[in-house]
Chains A and B, each alone.
Chain A
Amino acid sequence: MNCLDYRRLLAAGEAETLEMKTHRLQCIACAGQWRENAELERELRAALAVEIPPGFEERLRNAVVLSRRRFLAAAGVAAAAAGAGAYAWLWRDGPLALDCIEFVMKDEAKSILLGAMPRAEAEAALAGTMPLERIERVGQVRHVGPCPFNGAMAYHVVLAVPQGKVTLLVMPEGRVGGTQRASRDGLYASVVELRKGSLGVIGSDSALVKSVVGALRT
């Protein structure tokens, strides 16, 4: 690198590369130019960093949360419209839905402590049944881990949505044959058939479970 190259990059404000630094350390004139420039860059950085309005970050967070709520509500409405009576929440306890509740009560904590899967593995494992990206559109994924359930391998997902936390049991093997629901000990579960496999959604609020099922199937 010669002086012309160095000063051209310096004048444009490019971050100093190793090649530039090597030249600067060997050239007194360019080192002087670099020192002069450093002051301008400091002033420029300070001037560009305009003050952030009070409460800005909170308003941003609220706007994103509100958008999620609208998304969940819209998904629920769409699911209701598409499925008509299918989404009427009749609490006839289905055996698999009851097993889902039992899993949350007895085995969820243990499953979390056993550890989460690396993201790449989780993406691959869920891809054919309930893609991870689709789940992430609904809320924040807190945990994905494998768990034996109902005599086969399933995947345990903890999902945080603005209204609270729900547990998903993604079951790639076997189909439930329709929709099952259950309610016990303050928990509500819904198990639905997917194109491939089944999905159990468990939470402490029936409306929340219903809206998450709707959002995930939309």
Chain B
Amino acid sequence: MGAAGGLYWDWGSNTMRFDDVVRHLGTDLYRYAFWLARDRQQAEDIVQEALLRGWRAYPRLRSRAAVKSWLFSIVRNEYLRAMETSSRQPQSLDGLDPADERGVDPGVEMREALMALPASYAEPLALQVLGGFSCAEIAAMVGTTEGATMTRLTRARQALRRLIEPVKALRGGRS
């Protein structure tokens, strides 16, 4: 038995009710969707659709301990599905081409630097930092190897450093 005068049933953290799941993960799912779509309205639509799909499938989910990675994966699939049905081209989530960074002016703030990163770099960063997933978990979610995920994350951070360091150097010079 749980709280609220014994009326509620406490199933523990591994067996959250779907409403609790929405409350706990909604924000992180939105942020992940934003870094995929780079558009606020679209991110919200993606999360809503993903959660509706999630709600329908939730009772069939065998391991509720895995609910977090499962919902992040649904958001990812929903983004790809939404891109398929729209005229917009999805950002490549697989590419690992340093040439993607060539069009970016150095000397930008972190948020701008992230916006300038290709989705193939920004996505694993969002999964790692917002979702708290390990390289192995991210690899399983995006269908790649752990080594490739580590490489992508390392290169993403290197790219960010290159982009923001001129600003930091300028600030340091002023102070």
Interface residues of A in 47-84 (CB under 8 A from B): 47-50, 52-53, 56-57, 59-61, 63-64, 67-68, 71
Q: Which residue of A lies closest to B40 (CB)?
A: A53
Contact A137 B1 (CB under 8 A): no
Contact A143 B7 (CB under 8 A): yes
Contact B17 A140 (CB under 8 A): yes
What is the CB-to-nearest-CB distance from A52 to chain B, in angstroms, rounded to a whole number? 6
Q: With A40-B161, A47-B114 in contact, do A63 and B129 touch (Cβ < 8 Å)?
A: no
In the complex, identify which listed stretch (A26-34, A88-96, A113-121, A210-218) lies at the interface while the others stay far away. Answer: A113-121
Contact A45 B18 (CB under 8 A): no
Contact B52 A63 (CB under 8 A): yes
What is the CB-to-nearest-CB distance from A207 to chain B, in angstroms, rounded to a whole number? 23
Judge if B67 is at the interface, Cβ distance under 8 Å: no
Q: With A40-B160, A47-B114 in contact, do A142 and B51 touch (Cβ < 8 Å)?
A: no
Contact B8 A57 (CB under 8 A): no
Q: Which residue of A lies closest to B110 (CB)?
A: A47
Chain B 6-21 interface mask (CB, 8 Å, partner A; 1/0)? 1111010001011100
Contact A60 B31 (CB under 8 A): no
Assembled-state Cα–Cα distance A113/B1 (Å): 10
- Which of B44, B59, B129 is close to A48, meaning CB atoms less than 8 Å apart? B129
Contact A136 B59 (CB under 8 A): yes
Interface centre among A59, A60, A71 (most CB of B within 10 A): A60
Contact B160 A60 (CB under 8 A): no
Chain B residues with Cβ below 8 Å from A1 are none
Q: With A142-B7, A143-B7 in contact, do A40 and B157 touch (Cβ < 8 Å)?
A: yes
Q: Give the dominant DSSP class at B's interface.
A: helix
Contact A64 B150 (CB under 8 A): no
Judge if A13 is at the interface, Cβ distance under 8 Å: yes
Contact A49 B130 (CB under 8 A): yes
Assembled-state Cα–Cα distance A60/B15 (Å): 20
In the complex, identify which listed stretch (B22-30, B73-81, B82-90, B99-107) lies at the interface while the others stay far away. Answer: B22-30
Chain B residues with Cβ below 8 Å from A60 are 22, 26, 47-48, 51
Contact A143 B134 (CB under 8 A): no
What is the CB-to-nearest-CB distance from B138 to chain A, in angstroms, rounded to a whole number? 10
Q: With A47-B110, A53-B40, A60-B22 in contact, do A115 and B6 touch (Cβ < 8 Å)?
A: yes
Chain B residues with Cβ below 8 Å from A140 are 17, 19
Interface residues of A in 182-198 (CB under 8 A from B): none
Assembled-state Cα–Cα distance A50/B33 (Å): 11
Q: With A57-B23, A67-B52, A142-B7 in contact, do A12 and B126 touch (Cβ < 8 Å)?
A: no
Contact B129 A44 (CB under 8 A): yes
- Which of A59, A67, A119, A158 is close to B11, meaning CB atoms less than 8 Å apart? A119
26 contacts between A and B (CB under 8 A): A12-B157, A13-B153, A40-B157, A40-B161, A43-B164, A44-B110, A44-B125, A44-B129, A44-B160, A47-B114, A48-B35, A50-B31, A50-B40, A52-B27, A52-B31, A67-B52, A67-B55, A71-B56, A112-B7, A140-B17, A141-B9, A142-B8, A143-B8, A143-B9, A144-B9, A158-B7
Besides the known contacts A44-B160, A60-B22, A60-B26, 19 further A-B residue pairs in the complex with CB atoms under 8 A apart: A11-B153, A13-B125, A13-B128, A44-B157, A49-B130, A50-B34, A56-B26, A56-B30, A57-B27, A63-B48, A64-B52, A67-B52, A112-B7, A113-B6, A115-B1, A136-B58, A136-B59, A140-B17, A142-B8
